[in-house]
Structure 1
Amino acid sequence: MSSTSAKRGMQGGELAPWAIVAVAAVALLVFGGVWLGGTLGAAVSGGGWQPPPFSLATFGTLLGEGPEPLWPGASPAAVLTGVGVLFGAVVAAGVLAARAVLRFTSRPKGLAGKRELASMCPEGITARARELRPSLAGRTQLHPDETGNLLGDLDPSGPELRSSYEDVELDLMAPRAGKSTGIAVPRVLRAQGAVLLTSNKSDVYSVTRAARAEAGRVWTFDPQGIAHAPREMWWNLLADCHTIEGARRLAGHFVASVNDDQSKKDFWISAAQNTLTALFLAAARGQASVLDLLAWLADPADRTPVDLLRDVNMVAMAEQLQGTVRGAVETRDGIYETARQCVACLLDPEIVAWVTPDPALPEFKPHEHVLGKDTLYLLSKDGGGSAAGVIAGLADATMRAGVVAAERMGGRLDPPMTAVLDEAANVCRISDLPDLYSHFGSRGINVVTLLQSYRQGSRVWGEAGMDALWSAATVKLLGAGLDDADFVEKVSKLVGQHDVRTPSVSKGKEGTSRSYSYRQDQVLPPDRIRALPKGTALLLATGVRPALIRLRPWYKEPGADIISAAAKAETAAITARATQAWALIHPPAVEDSGSRWARGAVTLDKGATG
């Protein structure tokens, strides 16, 4: 016999006793299940609790004669049903236990657990809410939505995690990864105070509008017909332009709508912003309209804005504007043409009507909006003809009004204001948003910026600006579909590494010995971050180790059927308004009888003519 055969024989001899034990254990479990299941089935069917002896003789009787001698008075079908139900329950419990074990073992080691996230769990976030919101003092029971903003459930089995009302959030997810259903819609529905939402689609609007109408007044600013909402409001575009700071901020929003990188302003962009600042200031101080401002841009030789600035003692600004007008013709025309491009959206009468005073409609006043529970929807298309400059201006005015109101309240809004900047890089390019981010959080303004990728934000605010926004956000959610290799690699490094124990077995003359060595592995390699499943996100919160969470889409929450029904009704209304708008723009052609005759639509009644 060869040495290999001898080793196999020895191994088989060593395993034989364990095989006997395994067979005996399986037989015992099977017999015990049959004994207990049959007894339960007989008892339920009316045969009473009469278990047979738990012995080998009973097992032999069952195999040889069936269940009748063991459970007299009970039908065999009831006994067999009891056995089947018991074994089915055991199998189901085993499957659930195996799934729980697999989920636990598949969870990456090194991520935060319930203990590390105690400040974001229900008890911790409730205590923090009582510190931040004086209006909660003296109340023993608080609704969860009063304590913080729902982020999701800690993977794999909870609890739910919430951010506090002083946190500001940045979420990066690819399209169709759950930004709207898992973040934007729940955040709007659960908001405790005033709400501001920007978007280039009508999905969030259609789902949340009915619910927000019950909380307060709904203001829909839809100059480009995203939801085809009728114009039932107007906003004074020049309301905050009575100061140089306000005029410059508004000019910056229009410049940002056509400039992809705020860190790369060339001469023409900077000069155009200065010119727009002077014109906005002159229009506001001189009580002129937006149409007057457009006329000044069309004719650089018009001295009206210079005279208006001089009349209100803005001499330096008037001299600067006059210097631009009197400069070289090529330079002046280049500056004015760039300025015209920045405000080109105002040439559309449908857009300019929303920012022109209308005595027949109510005026939206940001300083009143932030004090209640009203909702402002800012909808705009992206790309050519976008009203992004107007949208950014109104969003910025509303959030700055929240800051002023917070200062009057002692430093913080209560209840807090919620601002969801969906598609912020496309329709709400607030140039200094990274600098304002942390300040908004300290004032009780919960800002959530939703982007498709880190690179998308870099195109708008530049690398330095996006880095500042990333650093200022106290809560960051990274969802599915992040394909930027460099960014995902950086995130993997931020998540960190963990120790992996590797066993090694050595055999010698003295026997077998086992030893262990340790190595450092990444908690989440880049490929795993990129392949995060839809509905999950990597949570990066200040002062806490990273964690994996499961988002909670609105359609899986209690009361989703009511919200869904309202959303369907709103969607049907949008469709009807869109059809009506299309019919107005494209009326059906009037056909003459000749063309209809050619198509066979007109026939002769032979009976009448013959």
Structure 2
Amino acid sequence: MSGARSGDLHEQLPWAVAALAAGGLGLFAVAWTGGTLGAGVTGHGWQAPPFALSTATTLAGEGPGTLWPGAPAGAVYGGMLALLTLLLVPVAVAVRLLVSRSARPKGLAGRRELAAMCPKGITARARELRPSLEGREQLHPDETGNLLGDLAPNGPELRSSYEDVELDLMAPRAGKSTGIAVPRVLRAQGAVLLTSNKSDVYAVTRAARAQAGRVWTFDPQGIAHTPRAMWWNLLGECHTIEGARRLAGHFVASVNDDSAKKDFWISAAQNTLTALFLAAARGGASVRDLLGWLADPADRTPVDLLREAQLIAMAEQLQGTVRGAVETRDGIYETARQTVSCLLDPEILAWVTPDPVLPEFRPDRHVLGKDTLYLLSKDGGGSAAGVIAGIADATMRAGVVAAERMGGRLDPPLTAVLDEAANVCRIADLPDLYSHFGSRGINVVTLLQSYRQGARVWGEVGMDALWSAATVKLLGAGLDDADFVQKISTLVGQHDVRTPTVNRGKEGTSRSYSYRQEAVLPPDRIRALPKGTALLLATGVRPALIRLRPWYKEPGAGAISAAAKAETAAITERAAARLPAAPVVALEKWNRPARDAGPV
């Protein structure tokens, strides 16, 4: 080992001497030229001293007075410094570019490959997609596309177009809310739809969105403890068989972990709910009436209403279910009752029951303006996920209808941020609708904690379809599914790594190179992505690493933060007002002196 190191030093010594000599010569050339420029500019002549070793010795020993007679030393040194700075600036820029390029893992996309998502490219695309921008020379960046983040390590910012639909997979507390959901809501140009099981995004964005348009807060389970100030007609979309079946599917999906796998009871319950929703909508009945029909299978009212509406086949099917074997009928109805059990809660039921005092939320009107709809619901038992999925689906379908009337695309686009989509907004056929939404100017962003979470809701086939339909995918920190991360590493690809080999012999030393394939991003690096960064997979380009842009680091964050604190305080106050008073017995128990306390 020592012999090898001595050989390396012996080989490198001539190069070190040559580099030192070249550096000294370059530094002397800068001093000689800069001193002459400084003397000449200040009016003390352009006579340059000899370009010789004696001049360097004189400058180092006696200063510039002898070499540039009459010229102030400050002027001479100023000229040297100015020239040195002028030469170092491009060198520093070049070094920075080289460092930036070397800092990005080889094999990932750079500025050139992502030109269509950079400011100039995305602006050109926005002018093609949005007729309302025609004739305007200057556009605000938020009018051109949806901000994704900055290309790592030093930019530029990247945006998706208004025909892209997005799927984001990140672990909890990896930046989904601060880096994706909140910025999308704040920067939206048209109407907004947001689903969530927490009040954080609502608290941060509500004040800002109130300045853009009306804020509708659908909060049947008191996530933000907002008083009911609206209602939505649950049966409004059920006048057609398609609309009734879709609503029934939302309630079924809220209790069925895999919508791709429906047993007999689930399928039969969906068919029964479809008939009951259709009967209630066509017959002018209420949701309370529908719950009564479910409680009493022998009630012939829905069958009669379907017959009066000339829906004979549907009436016969419902009647066949009612007249079937008692065990089968009761099993079907009990399954149906379980799917809509959240409507038994009078507080939830009030949000979907007509109220002459409060305004009605109309999806068809919402998508044409700049209003914001917050859909808040808990997950788990008693969740209103079926209702949330129903109103979200109705709003996005209204956007499709409005887009068709506009010539094919909404302008400005509708922004739909489906946070916690696997828990509170299970739209069974979302994977099939994804690409269609993008072509209609409906920017859907689905946020999931993992690929497996989506597969649990839509099945492996459905999740594969959702993955394929999403034109933009962001994979953030904390992805712990080994199989999935391995697949992503394979998708990112491999690159050539050059390995040098030094051979020493009697005839001298020779160097050869060999190449091997290595993963651009091994699975362990994907799993260990730092918080605030994400792997960008966009259709048609190589993967890239981006840095998310949290809302609290953007201009104007101070005002937004102040509004968020005020809203959070209001939520806390409303929550405290709704809490029941503690029982006196409990207070006496905890305030009892220690000497009176008996054994536990």
Fold shared by both chains (TM-score > 0.5): yes
| Change in CA separation of 1:548 and 1:346 when aligned onto 2, cut-off 3 Å | same
CA–CA distance in 1 between the matches of 2:536 and 2:3? 57
Provide the C-alpha distance between the structure 2 equivalents of 1:173 and 1:8, rounded to a whole number of angstroms. 48
Cα gap change, 1:61 to 1:434, in 2 (>3 Å): same
Q: Which residue of 2 aligns with 1:46?
A: none
Partner of 1:587: 581
Q: Which of residues 187, 193, 217 in structure 2 aligns to 1:196?
A: 193
User: What pairs with 1:381-420 in structure 2 (closer than 5 Å)?
Assistant: 381-420=378-417
Shift of 1:547: 0.9
State the 1:265 CA deviation: 0.2
Give the corresponding residue for 2:69.
Answer: none
Q: Which residue of 2 aligns with 1:576?
A: 573
Q: Deviations over 1:106-128 (max 9, x none)?
A: 32111111111111111111111
Q: Which residue of the other structure, out of 140, 153, 156, is the alignment partner of 2:153?
A: 156
> Where do residues 70-109 of structure 1 align in structure 2 (5 Å cutoff)?
103-109=100-106
The residue type equivalent to 2:581 in the other structure is: P
**Conserved 8 A contact 2:113-2:542:** yes
Where 2:546 maps in the other structure, the secondary structure is strand
Q: What does residue 48 of structure 1 align with?
A: none
Name the counterpart of 2:531.
534
Matched, 1:485 2:482: yes
Q: Shift of residue 514 of structure 1?
A: 2.1
Query: What residue is the counterpart of 2:344 in the other structure?
Result: 347
Closer, same or farther: CA 5–248 of 1 in aligned 2, 3 Å: closer
Residues 118 and 157, structure 2, Cα contact 8 Å, conserved in 1: yes
Of 447, 472, 476, which residue of structure 2 is paired with 1:475? 472
Secondary structure of 1:540's counterpart equals strand
Q: How far does the alpha carbon of each residue in 1:408-448 deviate from its partner, in whole angstroms, 9 at most, with x for none?
A: 11111000000000000000000000000000001000000
Q: Cα deviation per residue 1:135-182 (whole Å; 9 max; x = unaligned)?
A: 011111110110111111111111111111011000001111110011
* Count of residues in correspondence between the two structures: 588
Letter in 2 for 1:475: V
Show CA shifts across 1:356-393 (max 9, x none): 01111000000000000000000000000000000000
> For residues 517 and 584 of structure 2, what CA distance do their matches in structure 1 show?
77
Deviation at 1:95, TM superposition (A): 11
Q: Shift of residue 468 of structure 1? A: 0.4
Residue 326 of structure 2 corresponds to: 329
Aligned to 2:79: none
Match of 1:175 among 153, 172, 175: 172
* Gap change, CA 1:96 and 1:206, over 3 Å in 2: farther
Q: Which residue of 2 aligns with 1:132?
A: 129
**1:217-256 paired onto structure 2 within 5 Å:** 217-256=214-253
Distance change in 2, residues 1:539/1:591 (3 Å): closer
SS of the residue corresponding to residue 500 of structure 2 reads strand
Q: Structure 1 residues 94, 412: CA separation in 2 closer, same or farther (over 3 Å shift)?
A: closer
Structure 1's unaligned 5+ residue stretches are: 35-53, 66-90, 601-610
Residue pair 2:413, 2:441 contacting (<8 A) in 1 also: yes
Please, which of 107, 110, 114 is the counterpart of residue 110 of structure 1? 107
Whether 1:443 aligns to 2:443 is no
Aligned residue type for 1:198: T
Scaled by the length of structure 2, what TM-score is found?
A: 0.86
Q: Distance in 1 between matches of 2:219 and 2:571?
A: 12
Deviations 1:297-344, CA, capped at 9 Å, x for gaps: 111111111111111111111111111111111101100000000000
Aligned to 1:607: none
TM-score normalised by the chain length of structure 1: 0.85
Distance 1:342 1:595, change over 3 A: closer
1:121 aligns with 2:115: no
Residue 259 of structure 2 is matched in structure 1 by 262
Task: Choose the corresponding residue for 1:523, options 520, 523, 532.
Answer: 520
The CA deviation string for residues 92-114 of structure 1, in whole angstroms up to 9 with x for no partner, is x9999988765532321111111
Query: Whole-Å Cα distance in 2 between the matches of residues 9 and 540 of structure 1?
Result: 49
Deviations 1:508-536 (A, max 9, x none): 33322222222222111111111111111
Question: Conserved in 1, the CA contact under 8 Å of 2:231 and 2:355?
Answer: yes
TM-fit CA distance, 1:31: 12
Distance across 1 between alignment mates of 2:442 and 2:112: 28
User: What's the counterpart of residue 451 of structure 2?
Assistant: 454
Distance in 2, matches of 1:229 and 1:512, equals 79
Deviation sequence 1:32-90 (CA, Å, 0-9, x none): 999xxxxxxxxxxxxxxxxxxx999999999999xxxxxxxxxxxxxxxxxxxxxxxxx
Report deviation, 1:507. Answer: 2.5
Q: Distance in 2 between matches of 1:565 and 1:16?
A: 63
Q: 1:406 to 1:6 in 2, by over 3 A?
A: closer
Cα root mean square deviation, aligned: 4.2
Counterpart AA for 1:560: A
Aligned pair in 2 of structure 1 residues 175, 8: CA closer, same or farther (>3 Å)? closer
Q: 3-state SS of the aligned residue for 1:108?
A: coil
Counterpart of 1:262 in structure 2: which amino acid? Answer: S
Alignment-derived partner of residue 543 in structure 1? 540
- The 5 Å alignment of 1:255-294 reads 255-294=252-291
- Matched residue, 1:77: none
Partner AA of 2:370 in structure 1:
K
Aligned-pair CA distance for 1:489? 1.1
Q: Which sections of structure 2, spanning at least 5 residues, go unmatched? A: 32-50, 63-87, 595-600
Which residue of the partner structure matches residue 78 of structure 2? none
Deviation at 1:589, TM superposition (A): 3.6
The alignment status of 1:561 with 2:558, answered yes or no, reads yes
Q: How many angstroms apart in 1 are the aligned matches of 2:95 and 2:441?
A: 45
Q: Give distance in 2, aligned partners of 1:331 and 1:239.
A: 30
| Paired residues of 2:379 and 2:385 also in contact (CA < 8 A) | yes
Aligned to 2:492: 495
Alpha-carbon distance in 2 for matches of 1:492, 1:363: 49
Q: Which amino acid letter does the alignment assign opposite residue 103 of structure 2? A: S
- How far is the alpha carbon of 1:8 from its aligned partner? 8.2
Identity level (%): 82
1:504/1:376 CA distance change after superposition, 3 Å? same
Return the alpha-carbon distance in structure 2 between the equivalents of residues 459 and 595 of structure 1: 46
Instruction: After the TM superposition, list the runs of 4 or more consecutive aligned residues in structure 1 that deviate by more than 6 angstroms.
Output: 4-34, 54-65, 93-100, 594-600
Equivalent position of 1:187 in the other structure: 184
